[in-house]
Amino acid sequence: MILVTGGCGFIGSAFVLRWLKDQDEPILNLDLLTYAGHPGNLAAVANDPRYRFVRGDIGDMALVQDLLSQHRPRAILNFAAESHVDRSIAAPQAFVQTNVVGTVKLLQAAHAYWQSMPGDEAARFRFLHVSTDEVYGSLQASEPPFRETNAYEPNSPYSASKAASDHFVRAWHHTFGLPTVTTNCSNNYGPRQFPEKLIPLMIHNGLKGLPLPVYGDGQQVRDWLHVDDHCSGLRAVLDHGRVGETYNIGGRSERTNLQVVHAICAALDSLVPLAGGGSHARLITHVKDRPGHDRRYAIDDSKIAGELGWQPSITFDDGMRQTIQWYLANQDWVESVTSGAYRQWVEQQYGGRPGS
């Protein structure tokens, strides 16, 4: 079996669902169920005998060691992370605790477990650490996309915490020999993404006729990767990636934030026209930019393409339409995660930011 951490989150749950769809190997999910971890993400497999859920913290070494000893996984995939830049600006300590301290404790438990394994099992074991392109910093418009050899230049508390976790994973391989692999992905989108991130927030607000808040001039560029493509890339790295290496996983879909919002508006205009007519684009509202907002991210995925034969298969237009249709068909899920606490957060982030 394999162990995933943070499997009730957006990317983790997509990986679990795809894993159980593609093969029979059991999967164990350890998740603390913080605000962005939603058990409903995995309702479809809750009663599957191949799936087991344990609520707990990756920083609880006694729990992790017990799970490793009991279930003997052949691999650990670490999805568990605090992941929203805005929240890291408001409360950075939580990001240090989960992304740095939690990862180190998980590495310690994994190393002890790996050392106890018979030789052939130890040789096959992998610790796959899922990270972000934000660790590389910000690109100018004329600069080439991030490669695995780019220096780390994190600019937010979130990206700094993920950069630190990446460094600790590297250290556990080079110092202790733990067979690790790290992936750095571009911005994910798709079903079951918590609606504080750009795309689900725009869909959620657009469906309710609420303002669509866009930071600054909206010209920040991101490379957009459908979560299912990300999961297929992770599977390729888990199965065939070289130990000790890093692989960038990108969507080959650079867009400005404003282009993304307009694409969502156009799709909503087609699928759910506004009652009074006109375009959802009239709801776009520019708000004061967030501190230290990186201008551009872009991924060079030539390494994973060349070594492992992986490339994204879902175009941005197709993926966006599928994503919007999922949210339209799953409003019960949306209502279950957009609680009073969520509404307070959105008001705090955007309601008090006058137009720039």
* 301 among known catalytic residues: no
Quick one: angle between helices 227-240 and 10-22, nearest 10?
60
Token pair of 304 as six digits: 């994973």
Looking at residue 336, its pLDDT comes to 82
Which pLDDT value is given to residue 85? 87
Catalytic residue among 51, 113, 136, 158: 158
- Tally of CB atoms within 10 A around 54: 15
Looking at residue 341, what is its pLDDT?
A: 58
pTM: 0.94
| pLDDT of amino acid 326 | 96
Q: Is the pLDDT of residue 355 over 70?
A: no
* pLDDT tens-digit readout, 283-307: 999 999 999 999 999 999 999 999 9
Question: Catalytic residue at 133?
Answer: yes
Select which of 82, 133, 223, 294 is catalytic. 133
For 35-45, write each residue's pLDDT tens digit.
778 888 999 99
Task: Specify whether 143 is catalytic.
Answer: no
pLDDT above 70: percentage of residues in the chain: 95
Is residue 61 within 8 A of residue 102, CB to CB? The reply is: no
The residue from 134, 254, 294, 300 that is catalytic is 134
Reduce the secondary structure of the chain to three states and give it as a string.
CEEEECCCCHHHHHHHHHHHHHCCCCEEEEECCCCCCCHHHHHHHCCCCCEEEEECCCCCHHHHHHHHHHHCCCEEEECCCCCCHHHHHHCHHHHHHHHHHHHHHHHHHHHHHHHHCCHHHHHHCEEEEEEEHHHHCCCCCCCCCECCCCCCCCCCHHHHHHHHHHHHHHHHHHHHCCCEEEEEECEEECCCCCCCCHHHHHHHHHHHCCCEEEECCCCCEEEEEEHHHHHHHHHHHHHHCCCCCEEEECCCCEEEHHHHHHHHHHHHHHHCCCCCCCCHHHHEEEECCCCCCCCECCECCHHHHHHHCCCCCCCHHHHHHHHHHHHHHCHHHHHHHCCHHHHHHHHHHHHCCCCC
User: For the residues 248-260, what does the mean pLDDT come to?
Assistant: 98
The per-residue pLDDT for range 191-233, each reduced to its tens digit, is: 999 888 899 999 999 999 999 999 999 999 999 999 999 999 9
Average pLDDT of the residues of the chain: 94
Domains of the chain with bracketed CATH: 2-192+224-252+297-313 (3.40.50.720)
pLDDT digits (tens, 9 = 90+) for 88-110: 999 999 999 999 999 999 999 99
Q: Is the pLDDT of residue 354 over 50?
A: no
- Look at residue 338 in the predicted model and tell me its pLDDT: 80
Token pair listed for 21:
């769809």
Spatial distance between the Cα atoms of 105 and 119, rounded to a whole number of angstroms: 24
| Mean pLDDT to the nearest integer, 145-170 | 97
State the pLDDT confidence band at 117, using cuts at 50, 70 and 90: very high
Residue 356: pLDDT band (50, 70, 90) is very low
At residue 350, the pLDDT reads 54
Mean pLDDT of 165-180: 98
Give the pLDDT confidence score for residue 191 in this predicted structure: 96
